[in-house]
A = this chain, B = another copy of it.
Amino acid sequence: MSSKKKDLGVTPLSEDVSAWYNEIVFKAELADRGPAKGTMVIRPYGYTMWEILQRELDQRFKDTGHVNAYFPLFIPESYLHREADHVEGFSPELAVVTHAGGKELDEPLVVRPTSETVIGEMYSRWISSYRDLPVLINAWNNVVRWELRPRIFLRTTEFLWQEGHTAHANEADAMAETLQMLDVYAEFASTVAAIPMVEGEKTPGERFAGAVRTYTIEGMMRDGKALQSGTSHYLGTNFAKAFDITYTDENNAVQPVHTTSWGMSTRMIGAVILAHGDDQGLVLPPRMAPIQIVIIPIGRDEGGAAALDKAEELANELKAAGVRVHVDSRDASPGFKFNDWELKGVPLRAELGPRDLEAGHVLVAHRVGELDDKGRPVKEQIPFAEFVERVPTMLDAYHQFLLDRADAFREENTSVVDEWGAFADQVSTGFALAFHCGRPECEDDIKAETSATPRCIPTHGEDADGTCIRCDTPSAYGKRIIFGRAY
């Protein structure tokens, strides 16, 4: 344990990101380990972030014409076998119910790892005419994928997510949907989670099991590693053929539908933690923060009581203005409270003592921002009369500050490389933009030697030609692709 850890209670991120992450998740009461291996308990502070994500994404889904539904947790094992790539990809990760109601089941039931198969079966019952298309359905649920090396939020045996499943008359419509939802994810990540994402297509070796094309958004974490934060798949007619999802077109011909699926999960909470945190703990982007501003009344006896009253009055006004505010009236020292809310990543902290009360202002500090000579956050005096109006503006500015900081960090840690030595160096701290031949075996070699994988073929990358960074054969993608180590 470092001396710094003793002071702050958490291993500094700058010393050991992995230890920092594991400690901060528990210390900030975001989550806990569940009793069954690899499961997690999402505690109220963490779950509130999930509720915010749900509300924000759900609104975006509805604005783009989607409706929600619910499909069963249990899938007959035989269903997975109907799509060859799908079963091959998911078999090693399945949890299987063999007994129920006190008896052995005739056919084992798989606990859904994803719902393409069961939804395929239902769509084959519901869709018969071109008039039934498109079907634009999303589901919020839990899925199970057995993990050998679980990590809270990032990789757990059970996780929460949403899975969109749509059916279309043709490839063009289905591809437009696939890309639209990728954009929705990227826009959400930037606007709400303050994480700039690279949008792009996965290489064939990294595709979803059963997909024709897989698209991803990739964020850069504070250690330069990538975190895949949402995916959108064009499934072609693979599942339509496996589950006989057909429609009669305007000319009375029977056609297979073209399907898509897309998902974002509780992993996104891990992205928020790892994209913004620092040595002092969490740094939450204000639009994802369960508490956007904490007001700490200071002082004892009468002065303290008056400060508390004023703090609650201001908090009620902020609540009415739609701000998520908390008054910390615990019987503890201001220093303890400052550290606690710093660790929990609350964007703004307002102090209010008897002297401030007299002067008619609060002192407001940002969780991350300018520091004074002593290395403490600069505190701004804000008159009571301006406070409620100023806070939302300060939160918006702070969102932009975190987004810009993350963007600058990614820029700094992304380089174009054309030599193997430089490539290996670059992926040890960030993203490398390099040419690649497209062969899965070559991807495997790169991974074995550097731990880096192709993150994506960036949608907005410039067209360019060259030879593979590893094997010197011609580039397969007409542009540089992004490599990095990943969570």
Contacts and interface: CB of A to CB of B under 8 A. Distances in A.
A476 B113 CA distance: 51
Contacts of A95: 74, 97, 99-101, 109
A442 to B, nearest CB: 29
A68 B47 CA distance: 7
A254 to B, nearest CB: 22
A330 to B, nearest CB: 9
A43 B69 contact: yes
A67 B401 CA distance: 30
A19 interface: no
Contact of A96 (B32, B51, B100, B144): B100
A420 interface: no
A39 B70 contact: no
A378 interface: no
Contact of A35 (B47, B76, B93, B94): B76
A34 B79 CA distance: 12
Interface string A170-184: 000000000000000
Given A111-B111, A122-B41, A142-B142, A34 B72 contact: yes
Interface residues of A, number: 54
Contact of A101 (B36, B75, B148): B148
A44 B71 contact: no
A121 B91 contact: no
A40 interface: yes
A297 B281 CA distance: 59
Contacts of A48: 67-68
A94 B96 CA distance: 14
Contact of A158 (B44, B72, B158): B72
A121 B47 contact: no
A99 B43 CA distance: 28
A137 B46 CA distance: 13
A22 interface: no
A44 B137 contact: yes
Contacts of A126: 32
A59 interface: no
Contact of A47 (B42, B69, B158): B69
A99 B146 CA distance: 10
B32 A122 contact: yes
Contact of A74 (B44, B47, B75, B158): B158
5 contacts: A41-B71, A48-B68, A74-B144, A98-B99, A100-B146
* 6 closest cross-chain pairs (CB), A and B: A101-B146, A39-B72, A34-B72, A44-B67, A42-B70, A95-B100
